[in-house]
Structures are given as structure tokens and as C-alpha cells.
Amino acid sequence: MQGSNMQFEAQRNRLPSLYEVLARKTAAPVDLYCFYIYMRDQQRSVDYLDFWLDVAQHTSLCRHFVRELRRSILVETPDLEKTNSKRSSYMLDHMSEMNDPAGPSTDLNDDEKIKDQNLSAYLRENTGASNHSPQSSLGSQPSGLRASGDRAFPGGERPPRPSFMSRNSPTRTDSNSPAHTVARADIRASAEKILFTYILPGSEREVVLPQGIVQAITTAIEEEGRDDPELFDTAKDYTFQAMERDAFPGFLRSKALGNLVPPSLFLRAVFGILAMFAGFWAGFIFIFLDFPKHTRCWVILPFTIGVYLLASQQYSIDPILALVGYSEYTFFNFSHVREPYVRKLLNKRALMVLLVTIAVGVCAIVLFVFVPGVRL
């Protein structure tokens, strides 16, 4: 998978799309990690991205559950028709290989749509069936499980969050799924976690969604008992389109056409103005006190620094950093530019900014060095 991604990057002669970023088909500084930091620090709407990622993880969890279920049934009972309905057997047999699409559900091809629909239909059909879990098929289902798939905790408490949601998450497989066997209670807890964290009004990290979408998801989870990934499709598509429309263009401008973050731009503006003030002050002192020209050459230093800093602030790019292949992702933290097309764009803009810096700096230096002095 990594090799195909690198080959895809080498062939791409354009800026990436949001789909490619979310699918981890891009490299720094336009990868998913940099996009997450941009959404957190600059766009101030990281909840939308976290919601999208949690829904994608929920879908991956459901698929991992179904794959484990199919594998365990095939091990214990090779003849699926003896233990399941023909419909369930057909769906299990046709969900063995499933990818995790990163884009909206409307962009899926017909085969992916059918697999997603079969996955959701199977989970809906078998909601509450205790025999439909990898543990029960292998004969290892704990006695503390209820028929609905939830653990019977004293006092009616809800089960703990699945381990993939905790801070100390376990190692994951290459399929981007949890490395341990998934229980149906984990899927239910994952759906409820998304509901109570992002969707319900007044929730901890509420994502602004149309009221119809919120009501439909709430009803499906709390009243119908659903936890299949299809119930989040509309909300997932809505957040994808919102990020694509409102955040992603700014992200590309910030990372593909520049290599500095706002705090650095602010500091460059402040120190650039101070350096230019020092250059003008020294230049006028040298002129009105009639200093010799070789002494006036000291104005080269403040004017060069000031023009360079102000040009970097104006164009949001540090030419020297860009030419050596670095980009700033947080304040004074840098990463290598690994996306080929972005590296090419940054080099072109860096050369342009250097030319502007040299032109303006030379004009200012010539003016204050060679103008005739008049002692007041």
C-alpha cells in the first residue's frame, strides 16, 4: 500500500484533493497530519475533522467485526447455511474484502456502494443477536454479555469505551483496524460515543449539522438501536463538503504556496518594521551628518534584514527555508517538504520573493549610500 501511494505521488503533477489527503495518499506538508494541525490552530474547526475521522474509524470497526465473524464461522462451521440464513451467508461471503473509502459516499463506485449497503444491512439485521459475534462463534463469549450484545454491568452502567478510543490505543493491523477481536458491544459503544460527543445539541464537541440530520441519527441510535455505519453517511458527507469548501482551499494556500505559520508571520512583520526603521534612521543620520560613503554601507545590514522579513511576511514564505526543502507546521517546528509538486511550487515562489527582496533592498541601499550628504 505504501509503495502504491508513493508511486501515485510521483505521478501527480497537481495539488492534491481533500479525498487524497484524508486517504493518506499525500506527503508533507499537505498530508493528513499537517491538515489536522491547520484545522486545529488556524481554522479552529478541528471538531469537524475529528468527527469525520471517528466515523471513518467506526466504519473500519464494523468491517473488522464482520471480517472476524466470517473468519470464525468458516473455521467452526464451513457450511454457513447450517448456522445462518442464506441472506446472511451471502452477505458475509461478499464482504471479505472491503476498503475504507476516504471521500463522501456519493463518490463510491457501484461495487463499493453495494458492499457498504450489505455491511449496514447485515448489522441491522443481526442487531441484538448474541450468536453473531466472533467470540460466540468461537465458543468464547463471556457469560456477562446480554442478548443485545451489551455487557451486564452492576448499576446499569454503560460499557467502557472500546480500547481503540482510549489514549493508550493498541497496535493496529495493516488494515487500519483494531488488532484485537471486536465485540458487538464495541460497535454500539462507538456509535454512542459519536452521538454524545459530536451530534447531540450541547455535546462536548458539537458539530453544526442540519437539524434533520441530527434528528435522524438520534432516532436511529436511541430508538431503533442501530449502530451500522450507514446511519452516519449523510453527516459524514456534510462535514466532508464543509471542509472541502471552507477549510481546504486555505490549507492549500498556506502549505502549498507558503511555508510559514501565523505566529511566525507576525514576528517577521514586527522585526521587519523595526529593521526598516533602523535602516531609515541610520541612513538619514549618515546623510545629514555627511558621513563618508564607506561608512554609509552599514545601512546594507538593516535594509537587507527588513526587506527580507517583510517580503517573507507578505508572501507567507521564507525563501531560504523553501529552497532547502523545509516547511513550518507549528511555531518554530519544521518538516521536510516531501510532496514533489508542492516542492516545485515553493521553489518557484521562493525565487520570486528573493528577486523582490534583492530589487527593493538594492534600491534602498543605493539611495542612502550614494545620495550627496549635507551636514546640518
List, for residues 265-286, the tens digit of each pLDDT value: 999 999 999 999 999 999 999 9
pLDDT averaged over every residue in the chain: 79
Averaged pLDDT, 9-15: 76
63-89 burial code (b ≥16 CB/10 A, e <16):
bbbbbbbbbbbeeeeeebeeebeeebb
pLDDT of residue 154: 38
pLDDT of residue 92: 47
Averaged pLDDT, 236-258: 96
Residue 177 has pLDDT above 80, yes or no: no
pLDDT of residue 137: 38
Q: What is the DSSP string of 82-97?
A: GTS-HHHHHHHHT-SS
pLDDT of residue 117: 58
pLDDT band at 2 (very low <50, low <70, confident <90, very high): low
pLDDT band at 156 (very low <50, low <70, confident <90, very high): very low
Averaged pLDDT, 125-146: 43
List, for residues 191-225, the tens digit of each pLDDT value: 999 999 999 999 999 999 999 999 999 999 999 99
pLDDT band at 173 (very low <50, low <70, confident <90, very high): very low
- Whole-angstrom Cα distance, residue 45 to residue 245? 13
Where does residue 110 rank: exposed (0-12), middle (13-18), buried (19+ CB within 10 A)? exposed
- 173/199: higher pLDDT: 199
List, for residues 46-70, the tens digit of each pLDDT value: 999 999 999 999 999 988 888 887 7
347-372 burial code (b ≥16 CB/10 A, e <16):
eebbeebbebbeebbeebbeebbeee
Range among 66-80, 136-150, 303-317 with highest mean pLDDT value: 303-317
Using CA atoms, how far residue 296 sits from 134, 241, 273, 329, in Å, is 82, 58, 20, 39
pLDDT band at 234 (very low <50, low <70, confident <90, very high): very high
pLDDT of residue 125: 64
Residue 100 has pLDDT above 90, yes or no: no
pLDDT of residue 71: 78
pTM of model > 0.85: no
